[in-house]
Amino acid sequence: MILVLIALCAILKGAVSSVSTNSAAPGKILGQILDKCCTDPKQTIIIQTSIDTFEEECKLSDLINDMLTYRKNLIPVIQGPSIPATVNSLYYNVFMVGSYSSFHKLYDTMGPSKYDFEGRFVIVYGYKLPQMKKITERTIKKMRDKKILNVIVVVVDDSSVEVYSYFPYHKGRCNNFDPVLVSNISLTEKHLDYDYFPNRLLNMYGCTVKVGTYSLKPFTIIETKANNETVYKGTEVDIVKTVARLHNFSIEFYLPENGSKWGFIRSIDSTGLMKLIQDESVDLGFGSIGMSVERNFFLKAGMSHSTSTFVFVVPPGQLYTSFEKLYKPFTTDSWGYLAVAFAFGLTFSQLFFGGHRITFLDMFKIESLETPLMNMWTQILGIPLPKLPKKNITLAIAIGWMTTGLLVRTLYQGAMFKYLRSGVQKSSVQTLQDINSAGLHYYMYDVTRRFFVDSPEILEKLIRYNSLETLF
């Protein structure tokens, strides 16, 4: 059976190559195109095939073999009809298809969780099909629907290899998605000098970009002049205007409905700026937007950047009062423990020594030391003897109290000396732990709380704002 399959492929290969002087020439050109578009050795080239007929399978198999044979860049290649589940974020992608329906099969599997839509896509049609121009237009439109800019469509013919792409921004034409023949390569050509993946956004030729934002001082400040002209300024507005000058595009601002700001992102019924972006009413949005799992799932994030820095201005440290100098060496828990211990001792003395001194002592001297009370007393004081002398139990109790008092006093004096030695001023607030220890509070809005769900110690000291303008 295998021999029959090989024979059929050989016959079909001979039939196809009979009209060409060199059957390996198309694959050789594809190998050069692959070398020019895939240059990062840290990435992997993913080659996927999709066919409808056995003839297409033989043709594409020959093209792939020749393409891989003549390429020069030593970049890893994964080839097959499907991609292993362990491979993610596909950057270099080559689709080998025999028809538009074959392409559509691969297209339906494309998703942002698997493919890097900012990567490079090479779609190779192994034949020049009837109505190839319309097929090329539909192919590019489909890729554009997924917001993929870096795509070329390669059409293999008997005498040449045609390369199509699209340039959405061109002089005199904006949002232009018509395919452009960028290279018609003869099969006898040896070297390719064309850049198939230029920066298509480097010069946008003054085209208009719809930008969504909202009033959020000092990032976005919206003012209305006497002539009803709306002026946009602020730190992030300046960034967007700078980008517009660098890439030569004009800005048209859009505001969310009902004066809303960030809004919430959902699969449906999103609100605020998130709704404008999700519905594609704007091309991009800005306004001190933080990254979150929900936003990254439904939307495409740009490059992260910082537009501001929070600076906590605090005094170098206030002088401790005399009372603070007394209680600071011990923590609040330590003082609480001592208070309970002394209260228990006074109560114990009053109950057992007041009015029943002789009776209690006589009873206590002959009492076994195996009682829970004496065991606890021995363990706390850490007396090295396995058993206390029964005839001197009173003396042992007195010594125990003296030892406890001496220990507490020594610890207190040592802690006070160490504490005062480090300075007589309160330390300044430097970390979140210092803020929490100082009993300070945090001011934020509900939309910001999502970034602190894993920090309950911050949310416990949260003071919410209802109006954004109250911050500035």
* Residue range 222-245, pLDDT digits in tens: 999 888 889 999 989 999 999 999
pLDDT of residue 391: 58
CATH: 2.40.30.260, 3.40.50.970, 3.40.190.10, 3.10.20.740. Which one for 206-298?
A: 3.40.190.10
Lookup: tokens for 237: 């507005």
pLDDT of residue 337: 81
pLDDT of residue 310: 55
pLDDT of residue 318: 64
Residues 265, 298: Cα–Cα separation, whole Å:
7
Lookup: tokens for 223: 């003012």
pLDDT surpassing 70 at residue 316: no
Closest CA to 251 of 200, 220, 206: 206
DSSP-derived letter for residue 426 is P
pLDDT, tens digit (0-9, with 9 covering 90-100), for 282-310 = 999 998 888 788 888 888 877 777 655 65
pLDDT of residue 322: 61
pLDDT surpassing 60 at residue 17: no
pLDDT, tens digit (0-9, with 9 covering 90-100), for 95-152 = 999 999 999 999 999 988 889 998 999 999 998 888 999 999 999 999 999 989 999 9
- Per-residue pLDDT band for 382 (boundaries 50, 70, 90) equals low
364 CB-near residues (< 8 Å, 6+ apart): 393, 394
Instruction: Considering the domain delimited by 22-186, tell me its CATH architecture.
Output: 3-Layer(aba) Sandwich (3.40)
Please return the burial class of 34, using the count of CB atoms within 10 Å of its CB with bins 0-12, 13-18 and 19+: buried
pLDDT surpassing 80 at residue 190: no
Residues 94, 97: Cα–Cα separation, whole Å:
10
Residues 84, 71: Cα–Cα separation, whole Å:
24
pLDDT, tens digit (0-9, with 9 covering 90-100), for 327-362 = 677 778 888 887 887 777 667 655 655 554 444 444
250 CB-near residues (< 8 Å, 6+ apart): 206, 207, 208, 209, 244
pLDDT surpassing 60 at residue 467: no
181 vs 452, residue with greater confidence: 181
Domain boundaries, the chain: 22-186, 206-298, 309-318+425-471, 323-422
pLDDT surpassing 80 at residue 249: yes
H/E stretch holding 147 reads none
Rounded to 5°, the CA angle 428-432-436 comes to 80
The model's pTM is 0.63
Radius of gyration, alpha carbons of the chain: 39
Residues 363, 367: Cα–Cα separation, whole Å:
6
Please return the burial class of 154, using the count of CB atoms within 10 Å of its CB with bins 0-12, 13-18 and 19+: buried
Which of 179-188, 420-429, 461-470 has the highest mean predicted lDDT (pLDDT)?
Answer: 179-188
386-390 contacts at long range (C-beta below 8 A, 24 or more positions apart): 390/365, 390/366
pLDDT surpassing 80 at residue 326: no
- Per-residue pLDDT band for 375 (boundaries 50, 70, 90) equals low
pLDDT of residue 106: 93
- Per-residue pLDDT band for 385 (boundaries 50, 70, 90) equals low
DSSP-derived letter for residue 368 is -
Half-sphere exposure of 156 (CA within 13 A, CB side): 30
Whole-angstrom CA distances from 69 to 17, 64, 65, 402 are: 18, 8, 6, 92
- Per-residue pLDDT band for 8 (boundaries 50, 70, 90) equals very low
Are the C-beta atoms of 429 and 311 separated by less than 8 Å? no
- Mapping DSSP onto H, E and C, the string for 95-131 reads EEECCHHHHHHHHCCCCCCCEEEEEEEEEEECCCCCC
